[in-house]
Amino acid sequence: MSVSPFEERYRTEMNVIFEEENKLRKWMDVEIALARAHASMGTIPKESVKKLEDASKKVKLERVLEIESEIHHDLMAMVKALSEQAGDAGKYVHLGSTSYDIEDTATALIFRDAIELLEKRLNELSDVLKKLAKAHVETVCIGRTHGQHATPTTYGMKFALCYQELKRNIERMKEAKKRILVGKMSGAVGTMATFRGKGIEIQEKVMKELGLKPAPISNQVIQRDRHAEVMSVLSLTASCLDKIAKEIRNLQRTEMGEIGEPFKKKQVGSSTMPHKRNPHKAERICSLARVVRSNLIVAMENIPLEHERDLTNSANERVIFPQSFIAVDYMAKQMIGILSGLQFFDENIKRNLELTNGLIMAERLMVALTDKGVGRQEAHEKVRTLAMEAFEKKRHLMEVAKENIDELNEKEIEELFDYSTYTGNARKIVENALKE
């Protein structure tokens, strides 16, 4: 049984990309690309490349781990295992390179696959948000600031806001790919000395075959600001999902009860309280977001390695890279399920609009007075006084306004308290936000 919940409980299609088996294959892909570059330049026999390709298909992870247990070096364990299967071509494996020429370049290949999967997932989620924004463009609800009732807004606005933020994170991911999809073949301290004057050409050939860009300069590693940028985008994306989940959690509170997570017929909310319908999936998303954001701190700490590099990044990257990608993918997948089955309780949405006895229309009343020639500050003070009176006496603001405002007749005042007509340009704003 695995120790990490990312192996079972939070597992997605992302796991396969970061599993040891795939990492091993990516390492050998880089080794073969290096051999092919050598062969094209005449530094090794061309027929050796085919032998190495065939040998790579025979290498087993179990054998690599067995060798590693003896020599305590994971990359060299792969080199030895590949050489064992390659016969006389084995002497050309890893020629001129250092471990992180292979490992960092392979990491770029893994990141490419991981980002591609995550982009598909996030685009699917953005489609769900877009549909919800369109479907609820006219669903008027109370807006809240500082946890207090403010003025009316719409659920279309809520979903379109999240849609736009998610799209920005998808765009950030695309931008980050420009800087993370790079590889290196530069040797122990970045000088390419072991390639004897042919290093730049070899590096270019290897990266061209792998579909990566060559790092313009490196030391023993690809510089970790590139990886930290990706981790930053993952953290921003996790925070976006956290934000959506937190809104759902708050709106599902008993006192509000406007929306709710999907709740299956046999689902249990509490081990002791049979009535509970806890927003546990949204809470799980919020919880995992904290893990992803904490991993960003580690990625930032990896940037200032000592001199031409030290090994303090290595162990933690085995944790933070797969963990963060899997977590965000899982969170996005869960959010798609939540939003696709989101429940709306219209009677509670309407009830909450009326909860303050019309106080939420105080702003509109103030603006209407300025339209009648009352100064803005005077109008504000007049309506503020009436609002406090309505609150203290538990009366509807509309009735208090009718008794105390001479500038507006009763019909005008009544029209001002129609919540559905005080959402400004909400429909147009949503339509603009949803344009591709």
- Catalytically active residues are 146, 270
CB atoms within 10 A of CB 65: 14
Spatial separation of the C-alpha atoms in residues 434 and 436, rounded to whole Å: 6
Q: For residue 214, what are the β-bridge partners?
A: 183
What is the C-alpha to C-alpha distance for residues 127 and 233, in angstroms, rounded to an integer? Answer: 20
Beta-carbon contacts of residue 178 (< 8 Å; ≥ 6 apart)? none
196 to each of 96, 97, 200, 201, 417, how far by Cα in Å? Answer: 9, 12, 10, 11, 82
Residue 393's contacts (CB-CB under 8 Å, 6 or more residues apart) are 400
From residue 264, give the alpha-carbon distance in Å to each of 268, 277, 335, 343, 348: 9, 10, 16, 12, 21
**Following DSSP, what letter does each residue of 18-61 receive, concatenated?**
HSHHHHHHHHHHHHHHHHHHHHHTTSS-THHHHHHHHHHTT--H
Q: What is the DSSP letter of 375?
A: -
Orientation of helix 426-433 relative to helix 155-180, angle to 10°: 20
Closest among 383, 378, 416, 422 to 400, alpha carbons compared: 383
CA contacts within 13 A on the Cβ side of 206: 32
Neighbouring residues of 50: CB distance < 8 A, sequence distance ≥ 6: none
CA distance 42 to 49: 12
For residue 145 the two structure tokens come to 């600031």
Give Cβ neighbours of residue 435 (< 8 Å, ≥ 6 apart): none
**Cα gap 97→99, rounded to integer Å:** 7
**CA–CA distances in Å: residue 310 to residues 14, 75, 97, 314:** 29, 16, 17, 9
Distance, first Cα to last Cα, the chain: 46
